[in-house]
Every structure is written in structure tokens, then in C-alpha cells.
Structure 1
Amino acid sequence: MTAFEWVPAFAHGLVRDLRVRWALEEIDEPYDTELFNARNPRPEEYLARQPFDQVPAFREGDIDIFETGAILLYLGEQDERLLPKDGQPRWTALSWLFAALNSIEPFLVPITIYDLFHQDKAWMPEAREAALTICRKRLSRLTDALDGKDWLAGQFSIADITMITVLNNLRHTEIVAEYPALVAYKARGEERPAYKRALEAQIADYAQEAA
């Protein structure tokens, strides 16, 4: 799996290789990382593996995959601890995997971008407020869908790995705190030993470059 050897401190735990690391830790699957410098373009040949010059790209044997949703689906197909094999639980998990990537994340990331990179722009407050209105609607719908469940598909799955890491995009704000069910949901995920190991491994890779 490819990852970065360094990112700014505010991005620790946000780079998307964390999702893949977490899934691999959940199924006790060892992995190696190929590290790139985030401040420099990746080698030209890397575009054959990841056309958008991002991380992670994943390789197992003669299989190459990019995009975290696709990688998580690949891993889920191999182990029921990540994805139910049959019936409605499987399709519920897959629906929420795609919902996290398509119906939640695109409405959270703009707030992060405005806050971290455009604070000094005159247009930012109005744009952020518009984005926040949509964001809150999406988080309200997510809260309603959880409806007292521990996990989105009943059992823990790749849907939860994706959704919890998506919610991390707002960790610099108090927005998620407006939804106690989401706070508890996120905490359940981050208390899992596999999540802790994945985060420690990601931070350890950054520490190597700093040393």
C-alpha cells in the first residue's frame, strides 16, 4: 500500500490510507507501506497505479487497486469481519460504504478546506455558512439512520470504517458534537484496537521522515 512519509500535523489521521490500514488491522492481515513525499509529485510511473497521483494505491499479487472504497470492498470480499457475505446485511453495508463517500464526505470536506486554507478570504464566511447548512442536513439524516444501532449495517463493517474516518474531517470543529449519537458512534469506532493500531502505524511512518 502506498502512503506518505510526511504530512502536516493537522492532517495526521486524515490521509485516506488510514482506512485501508484499519481494515487490514481488523482482519489481522500484515501489510507493507511504500512511502512517498507528499511535498513532491510522485514518480511518473505511479500514475499507472493511481491516475490522480494520490494515496493509497493497493497491490496484492497481480491485483492493483486505487480509491479507498474499491480497496475496502476488495478486502471485505475476503473476510466477513469486514463485510457480510449474503442478504440484506451485505447490501446495507455496501449502501452505506457508498453513502459515506458520495452523500456525506463531499459535504464535509469543503468546510475543512475553507477553515484551513481560506480563512483570510472575504467570501469565505458566506460560503462556509452555505456549506454548513447542507452539512448539518446530511449529519441529521445520518443520525436518524443510526437510530440506536451501534453500527450502520448491524455488525461492524467497511461502511463504519469509511463513515467514521469521513467524520474525522470535522474534528477541528464542534459540528459533530451537535449530534450526540454521532459522537458516540465515532468514539465506538476509535476505541477499537484495530483503529488504534492503524493510527499508530500511520503516525509512525510520519515519524520516520521527521527523524
Structure 2
Amino acid sequence: MLTITTYDWVPDMAKGYVRDLRIRWACHEAGLPYRIESTSLSGKTPQHFARQPFGQVPMLRDGDLSIFESGAILLYLGERHPALMPEGAADRVKAQQWLIAALNTLEPPAMMLAMARWIKQDPAAEGIVLPWLHDRLGQLETVLQGREFIAADRFTVADILMADILRIVDGLGEIAPYPGLKAYQDRITARPAFQQALAEQLAHFAQAA
């Protein structure tokens, strides 16, 4: 059975957004059983750093193999389970491309805005990053016109990454000018696998509290 490592506790604002959600979601889409193990948010052990040199989560253990970074874990699962990746070589490359684009192009300005607005409360930093984020959102809105999914004619791991990052944008109150992105986010997160993964993560942190 797969083992997903997440935190034992997070502040309220992080509940429902910790990145182990992405891995839980993928497992539910593929029908893969998993167990959860917890690590401390503040008191990370040498064993944790041995598996994740930056002390972050999630991590995935599959037998003797330990993997960190949500994108790498999703690619690993996608290569092994047809529910998460298309069969054709061209479509697989497109899914990989859009997964990386979600992580490298959309997530950085979204997370920087979240940091400036929610944690640092830094209006100057917010003013710098907000135009950058909206440039990216406008470009993505154009791409998604006429598409149900981001990378292919079916759901892939790229949709997990893209929709989850758009949830952050929505939480920041910045998705309203982009009805296509909002419709895509709502459509992808309406999937039963996402709803189950979210409920499980929230229950995990509620039990810890």
C-alpha cells in the first residue's frame, strides 16, 4: 500500500490546501489504496530531512521507493496508472507539459500573492505580483476556451495541478474576471475523487486539532 506523508497539524488557513491533497486526489482517481503518516510542522526530524531535504510535504512511499514534490509524485503515479495519463505518446507529453506549466508558470505568482496578502500583509509586494498573476490568468483563459480539460480530451494529472492552483487563486478573490477558469475549476473539483480527498484531509486536521 502507498504511504502519503503530510503534516500532523497546520493553521486554519492552510487546511484544505496542503499539497498532500493532490496525491490523495490522484489515488482516488486511480483507485489506489493508501495510508497517511504524519510529520510535525515545526519539529522535523533528521529522518524527515533524509527523505525531503527541504523539510516539506507531501512525500510518497511505494515499497522501498520514497518520492518528494507533488509534481514528481503525480508524474510517477501517472506513468503507472492509465486513469491519470492518456495512452498516446503525444497526449502524454501534453499532460506532462501542462503539469510543469501549472507548477512553474501559474503557481509561483499565486503563492507569492498569497504570501504577500495572507502572511506578510505587504501591499508593496502585492502590487508587484498581482499584474504578473493576472497576465498568466488571462493567457490561461484563452487556452481553455473550448476545452473541457487542460491537456487532452480526458482528465489527467495536469488537471489535478491546474485546478488545485486555481483554487488558491479563487481563495485570493482573483478568479472572477475569468469565467472560463472559474468554470474549469468548478468542473474539475466537482469530481468525486477530489471531494473525497478534500474531506479526508479536512478530517485528518480536524482530528489533530
Under a length normalisation based on structure 2, what TM-score does the superposition of the two structures give?
Answer: 0.94
Q: What is the CA–CA distance in structure 2 between the aligned matches of 1:180 and 1:21, rounded to whole Å?
A: 27
Q: 2:22 aligns with which of 13, 19, 25?
A: 19
Name 1:204's counterpart in structure 2. Answer: 203
Q: In the aligned structure 1, how far is the partner of 2:62 from the partner of 2:11?
A: 29
Contact 2:109/2:132 (8 A) holds in 1: yes
The question of whether the paired residues in 2 share the 8 Å contact of 1:5 and 1:208 is answered with no
Identity %, equivalent residues: 42
Question: Which consecutive segments of 4 or more residues in structure 1 shift more than 3 A?
Answer: none
- CA shift at 1:174, angstroms? 2.1
Unaligned runs of 5+ in 1: none
Within the candidate set 5, 9, 16, 1:6 is matched to: 9
Q: Distance in 1 between matches of 2:90 and 2:145?
A: 17
Residues 77 and 85, structure 1, Cα contact 8 Å, conserved in 2 = no
Residue by residue over 1:11-62, the C-alpha shift from the partner in whole angstroms, topping out at 9 and shown as x without a partner, is: 1111100000000010111101111232x22111111111110111110111
- The residue identity in structure 1 corresponding to 2:81 is D
Q: TM-score, normalised by structure 1?
A: 0.93
1:97 correspondence with 2:99: yes
- Structure-1 residue corresponding to 2:89: 87
Q: Deviations over 1:105-144 (max 9, x none)?
A: 011111100111122xxxx323212211010000111111
- Alpha-carbon separation, structure 2, partners of 1:126 and 1:10: 22
Which range moved further: 107-116 or 78-87? 78-87
1:167 corresponds to which residue?
A: 166
State how many pairs are aligned: 205
Whether 2:138 is the aligned partner of 1:140: answer: yes
C-alpha contact 1:23 1:161 (8 A) present in aligned 2:
yes
* Separation in structure 2 between the aligned mates of residue 180 and residue 171 of structure 1, nearest angstrom: 11
Q: Is the 8 A contact 1:108 1:135 kept in 2?
A: yes
